[in-house]
Structure 1
Amino acid sequence: MSGTDTDFPVADASGSAIPADLASLESEVRSYSRAWPAVFRSASGSRLRTDTGDSYLDFFAGAGSLNYGHNNPVLKRALLEYLDADGITHGLDMMTSAKADFLRAFQAKVLDPRGLDHKVQFTGPTGTNAVEAALKLARKVTGRHAVAAFTHAFHGMSLGSLAVTAGPKQAGAGIPVGHTLRLPYDGFGTSGGSGLDLFEELLKDCGSGVEVPAAVIVETVQGEGGVNVASVDWLQRLASLCERWEMLLILDDVQTGCGRTGHFFSFESAGIRPDLVCLSKSISGYGLPMALLLLRPQFDVWKPGEHNGTFRGNNPAFVTATAALANYWADSTLTEATERNSHRIGEFLDRIARAHPEFGLRSRGRGLMWGIAFDRPDLARLISRESFARGLVIETSGAQSQVLKILPPLTITEAELDEGLGVIGDAIDKLAAF
């Protein structure tokens, strides 16, 4: 095997199934339609269906925006009833009944049970909008400019978010981005040292040339960066450093929140309390655009309208979000199911690693967010393409797309989970036999 994609016979991923007139009309920036050359028409639960009638199991879940599956019937019913009653669909940040219901449900089902006193700010409808608001607010509160961020981080594609994002995606800014102190994430490199040791030394030494940052932004699990998982001890120490040096701790829970890693918030298992929390993706529950920033009351120093956006009040998203909270976060049923399925994935990946030591397979993850890294960077892409040919939608992550990323809906059944894992196993077996 010489190490090129053409060495291994897999399904064509050039996008040839996309009608030529559409392929020529849409911008070259498109990506997922190239990776999965099909025209999808409908979806329900953990299944996608194409216009030719083919069915695909979904281990992508809208990049984590469909934690409750496609067209979840409970959420769909709430949305259709709201629309049928001519409910408000767009209201900027006006108070509406849908917004009031969501705020009360979020406080009762999420904030109060966890002893959190955070206020809720509705930003523009995407994760990067929430991150931009957090960065802007941290600088306003502290009067400082720099923000500490980590290797392999991904926080969005707008300019401020790109400044704290690491790796090749930064080139998308088109201009230099700065005011960022880049630090090693937990487990980064081979030296065995901790990036937090370095961070603390820089903060302590007045001759280091490093000013105390306004904030530190972190993901507890770096999804786009390769499914890198921070330990509880590391997160707790980071939170302690932020408190000691009066830096705001920004927790980017855009992909890892809303139950993806087990608890509603990914930081709950570490027992820390971030100053600012960014949420998006699955907060609406139905794949509808919605994002919010949670902020401690003492940091709510905004003037009215100082940070706004036309689509910061997506009322249909409020409706489905409220239904999701009522149906999935009134008890621990979903969290317990996620933990069971997490163990199921971990055990499967351990077996695959033992069966194929030649690939140097390494797995890591939490909840229903797992990654499989290989010694050869191109293997994850090959397995993703072969899995698609076998009826499984699954993406890659990492700076070189070297990690196969398992991200199914949280509502997936055990039978469906086993089916998808079986496809991955068969694709790896085929690669080993070639």
Structure 2
Amino acid sequence: MESLWTESVQDRTIAYPRLEGDTRVQVLIVGGGLAGILCARLLTDAGLECLVVEQGRIGRGATGLTTAKVTLQHGLEYADMIERIGLERTRLYQYAQQDALLQMQAMADAVSCDHEYRSAYVYSTQGRAVLEREAAAYEALDMPYHLLDDAPLPFEHACALGVPEQSQFNPLKFLWGLTPGLAVCEHTKVIGVDGNRAFTDDGATITADHIVLATRYPLVNIPGWYFIKLNQYRSYILALKQAFPIDGMFIGAQSGSFSFRTYKDYLLVGGGGHKTGEAGGQYRKLREFVQAVCPRATEEGAWATQDCMSLDGAPYAGIHRNSAPELLVASGFSKWGMTSAMLAAIVLRDLLVDGQSPYDEVVSPRRKKPLGEVARRGLASAKGMLRPTTKRCSHMGCGLTHNDAEGSWDCSCHGSRFDDNGTVLDNPALKDISVS
């Protein structure tokens, strides 16, 4: 199974044409995942001429591999954010996430995507203290919440912090519900950008007033310092039947925890994650957990996904860098691609239509960088570049390690991945490599 979502839309997707020859548009959007399609939807509805180009099929990247939990509760982030940037800027970020959530819920209610309202929870198996600290931040931000002393999960002494009226849906049904009326070209790979022009691998040139990079990891990443601003993580998901029932969406507060949500008669269990190019639990950890807590469950599908992690947990949405105001970016969703994709689309729409966004202060790619995290990631990249191996990444030359569980060569520096034939699986690398 490629994923539960791709299986569910096999009979309802249409094929968009490949771009033939040069063209000009007001806004070019590179990347046909949820962020790119949402951006095109909002900009088209605002009266701008947009074109989405996707190197494969739309929605078949991270969007088709997500667990699709739509919530402004992104782990235990608000207490830390208040300490780092202050209450008022955190409040602005929470307003932005709430705006994105409500707009996405309204869209989901208008299309056929199996949308359901659910509470979202962060659970802890090591006591309430971490949850109470986050609950205090919710109170300061006037966010509704509730605490459960006995969460309905297969753990002893699991407590949980919940936020009501969040959402879950089928992300590909949602994406396909947004596409009518949009200009889309599939199997059109952009390999370079220069000013207001983008170039495809078959020699076509697309000229645009503005170019939006919605490719998960930005296509242009060395100017703008995105190779330091971002790193990537792998996560793994099992689709189960005859598993234990849950009511709500759950993620763990502790490192190495599991996530849970339902879809129809499936239970989706996520976990086993690790930094791309490094060791992790992968499917093995998930399967051992399921066997221990619910041996009667049957595994109906398994897939992995990859996420771009920003320096501070907030997404990057806005002008790519000061020297290129015509270039915009939507990236760094840090495992929360649903509301973050919506927020990015809102910000980009505001910037291109109104010239400014009320949320620019908290999501701008040009915001102040946490220097400690910059240094840590820089050292990790340097270590990867010095790794002694003949297999090197075509992005910046880092040494690759073999991912035996997935049969790929992975880069720990910036998260590029290649199959066993050397073909690029995940960017930022654009060129295939030799693995002979």
TM-score for the superposition, normalised by structure 1: 0.29
Structure with larger RCO (C-alpha < 8 A, sep 6+): 1
Which protein has the bigger helix share?
Answer: 1
- Under a length normalisation based on structure 2, what TM-score does the superposition of the two structures give? 0.29
